[in-house]
Amino acid sequence: MNTGESFLRKFVTAFVLLILLGLIPDPDDYAAAGQYWDFPKLPPPHMYGNVLINRLSEKNGVKPVFFSHWSHRSKYTCRVCHFELDFEFEVNKTEITEEDNRNGIFCGTCHNGKEAFGHTPKNCDKCHTGTVDLDKAKFYDLAIKVPRGFFGNKIDWGKAIRYEVIKPIYSIFHREEQPLAFRKRLELKAEWNYVPPAVFPHQAHTQWLDCANCHPDIFNIRKKTTKNFAMQYILDRKFCGVCHLKVAFPLDDCTGCHPAMSRKKRR
């Protein structure tokens, strides 16, 4: 009885240890993070960031709205829509109505026949397309002109704006407005051993975004006070994952944030 019990105990301990050993990850695994994490499947480059908005469309008997991030971000910064016009960072969450657009808010702020094509019966089909697989030729017309990236749209949008290949408008309310000269580069310690720190350059973000796009809702403004800031939540479309899963370069690009991460040198 005694020997049987101690054998069982040893067996259980060994089993637990084995499982724990299995949990200690091999650092090389991180390099191929796409295999480790359950990332959303990437669409072809011309469809990355394309969105189908169907909060009310089909209920009202019209086709859902096609919105492409790439075509809009080449002319306007993220800030214009997501900060000044208060579009949410989640599909179908912004309470856009046909009436709102006609009242000159949301899409209707620009799509009024002056800044961009108007919200008129003639133009319904331009947005209410019901599909996101559109404008492939137009996309590649743009893609050949701008610096190449590795994931997502396979466009390095950061370089594109830095080298002024594209000049997206920073504000539609105050055309003279410039990004704040806040250039602090943060080094964020990773939560796991073996993972080199993430680097966060404010400047690369403020070219596109406003302070308030991230602060204080997503990230607190006081250092080290943002709770639950961990990779698992980022994958759950929180924190960096708000943008870096579907529109900004996707998380598949580990070295994009963890530059010291070991991976074969990028082309």
Partner 1 sequence: MINRRLLFCGVFMVAGLFLITFLVNAQAFGVKKKRPKLHEYGNVVINNFSEKAKMSPVVFKHWLHRSKYTCRLCHIDIGFAMQAGGTGMTEADNQAGMYCGACHNGGEAFGPQEMSSNGASIPTCDRCHSYGKDVEFKYDFYTFRKNLPVERFGNGIDWLKAEEQNLVTLKDYLPGVSIKRSKIQEPKELDLSAKEPNMPDIIFSHKKHTVWSGCELCHPEIFTVKKDAQPFSMQEIFAGKYCGFCHGTVAFPNIDCQRCHTKVVI
Contact residues: partner 1, CB under 8 A: 83-86, 88-90, 93, 95, 100, 103-105, 173-174, 177, 180-184, 210-213, 216-218, 220-222, 227-229, 233, 236-239, 241-242
Q: Output the smallest distance, CB 4 to partner 1, in A.
A: 29
Tokens of 9: 């105990």
CB of 95 to partner 1, least distance (A): 7
Of 124, 122, 81, residue with least CA distance to 105: 81
Closest CA to 131 of 179, 74, 70, 63: 63
Q: How far is the CB of 38 from partner 1 (least distance, A)?
A: 17
Residue closer to partner 1 (CB basis): 27 or 118: 118
CB of 141 to partner 1, least distance (A): 32
Which runs of consecutive H residues, i.e. helices, occur in the chain?
A: 2-23, 27-31, 33-36, 69-73, 78-79, 98-102, 124-127, 136-143, 157-162, 202-206, 211-214, 231-234
Whichever of 131 and 225 has its CB closer to partner 1, that residue is 225
Residue found by looking up tokens 């499947």 in the block: 41
Based on CB atoms, which residue is closest to partner 1, 10 or 215? 215
- From residue 217, alpha-carbon distances to 55, 232, 250 in Å are 24, 18, 21
231 residue type, one letter: M
* Shortest reach from residue 212's CB to partner 1, in Å: 3
